[in-house]
Amino acid sequence: MSNFDVIVLGSGPGGYVTAIRASQLGMKTAIIEKESLGGVCLNWGCIPTKALLKSAQVFEYLQHAGDYGLKVEGADKDFDAVVKRSRNVASGMSKGVQFLMKKNKIEVINGYGKIKQGKKVVVKGEDGKETEYSASHIIIATGARSRELPSLPQDGKKIIGYRKAMTLEKQPDKLVVVGSGAIGIEFAYFYNAMGTEVTVVEFLPNIVPVEDEEISKQLERNFKKSGIKIMTSSEVTKADTSGDGVKVTVKTPKGEEILEADVVLSAVGIKTNIENIGLEEVGVATDRDKILVNDYYQTNIPGYYAIGDVTAGPALAHVASAEGILCVEKIAGMHVEPLDYGNIPGCTYCMPEVASVGLTEKQAREKGLDIKVGKFPFSASGKAQASGNSDGFVKVIFDAKYGEWLGCHMIGAGVTDMIAEAVLGRKLETTGHEILKTVHPHPTMSEAVMEAVADAYGEVIHL
């Protein structure tokens, strides 16, 4: 039996980052993975989807080359080549994680891991052989998978999850996307840009329902303009796969409607991977599909920890990474502060992109706060106009009395790269006046942040 200081179960953006930080802090570390290093994010989520979305964006540019004074004739797409490029990008990133494991002297154990009492993990390899390992600290980072609705059981052919959506052998002529969170919206944009007829069905009144309502309405307008059908306050009650395609029964405010499609993508959230990993045997406490942890990701059983999607925080790659680092730094005896979950940025990489942090306007008003709200449209931005991406806006929310930056919401080209300014500003407790007096470069999209703040304080120049 091999002994380690830290064993990490799962090698996604939570697990492999945790392992690296543990090794940096001088701990003998091992990581257990049943599939490919990098987990869902690198292999089936964050990274390969961005490769698909970039192909869609380039294809759209080619179709609108005339808007830039250019002539491109006969531009077409090769769906198989687009998918292949995405898989190659994912493969390259996974190999990069392999390199990082070697560089940081982390032992990679391939197989299915299951925790046991006494700070042990049993790993079952592909050959069926079981090997036992022990560690002073065992960190569970097993992530999550696509959640299935009872009315929409996935068969991997006509009713699919996000993994299959990335590797379809044939581009569907018609696609129904159920759920309008980041996953559903990104695939809706990708397939629509590739030429598929797309319908989005959302149970709640707004698409991207966690976002500010003005952002949601703007994105809905953009999607409808692109030819995507949006059905909000609607619920899929049945799916018939007996024919050539799928017939989806949707309950809407106006009555029942039947949609016909080649494929249905179920994007209604995630289900954590906490079954059959030994939680019950060890006595690790769970609640509603999540492992219970304290501010430092310790479970109720000493020596066992959990981070990422298996815990109650936002199911985001950057959150899992931050939690893992904090967890092992606490183990190492460093002074750490609990993660501020109110300052976590969220990003959706459709076109236009969506990015946000902090309170929405509705949330701020529901809290009874006296607020200042500012907006600046990209249609008034020189850089946005020059680049041909003038859709969208930046919206900021400040506490009227103290100038605290309560929230920032963006929709437009490149905003997922811009949101970090608001995250950092809020972390440093920056006030609106300090943002106003921070010189932003011209011409850039980021000027819109300064201008939105200026609008909140009645000092906007270019609007």
Other C-beta atoms closer than 10 Å to the C-beta of 139 total 30
Residue 109 marked ligand-binding? no
Residue 113 marked ligand-binding? yes
| pLDDT score recorded for residue 42 | 83
Residues 6 or more apart in contact with residue 260 via CB below 8 angstroms: 174, 245, 246, 247, 248
The first and second tokens of residue 387, run together, are 């680049």
Q: How far is CA 245 from CA 153, 158, 159, 251, 261, in A?
A: 15, 7, 10, 20, 6
Residues forming the active site: 442
| pLDDT score recorded for residue 1 | 56
Q: What is the maximum span of the chain, computed from C-alpha positions, in angstroms?
A: 69
What is the per-residue burial (b if ≥16 Cβ within 10 Å, else e) of 387-415? eebbbbbbbbbbbeeebbbbbbbbbbbbb
The first and second tokens of residue 360, run together, are 């929405």
Which of helix, strand or coil describes residue 209? coil
| pLDDT score recorded for residue 39 | 85
Residue 128 marked ligand-binding? no
Which DSSP letter does residue 385 get?
A: H
- For residue 320, the number of C-alpha atoms closer than 13 Å in the C-beta half-sphere is 29
Residue 309 marked ligand-binding? yes
- Alpha carbon of residue 144 to chain centroid: 12
CA distance 141 to 123: 15
At 179, the amino acid letter reads G
Decide: 415 and 358 in contact? Cβ < 8 Å.
Answer: no
CA distance 114 to 304: 12
Residue-wise pLDDT tens digits, 333-388: 999 999 999 999 999 999 999 999 999 999 999 999 999 999 999 999 999 999 99
CA distance 173 to 160: 15
H helices within 200-312, ranges in order?
213-225, 279-282
CA distance 421 to 404: 14
CA distance 289 to 310: 8
Residues of the chain with pLDDT under 50: none
Residue 182 marked ligand-binding? yes
Which DSSP letter does residue 136 get?
A: E
The first and second tokens of residue 283, run together, are 């006595």
Other C-beta atoms closer than 10 Å to the C-beta of 95 total 14
Residue 340 marked ligand-binding? no
At 130, the amino acid letter reads E
| pLDDT score recorded for residue 45 | 84
Residues 6 or more apart in contact with residue 277 via CB below 8 angstroms: 9, 113, 114, 115, 140, 142
CA distance 377 to 354: 14
Decide: 445 and 384 in contact? Cβ < 8 Å.
Answer: yes
Residues 6 or more apart in contact with residue 137 via CB below 8 angstroms: 5, 6, 7, 27, 119, 303, 305, 328, 331
- Alpha carbon of residue 115 to chain centroid: 28
User: Does the global pTM surpass 0.85?
Assistant: yes
Decide: 304 and 115 in contact? Cβ < 8 Å.
Answer: yes
Domains of the chain, with CATH numbers? 2-146+271-341 (3.50.50.60), 159-268 (3.50.50.60), 352-456 (3.30.390.30)
Residue 419 marked ligand-binding? no
Residue-wise pLDDT tens digits, 405-430: 999 999 999 999 999 999 999 999 99
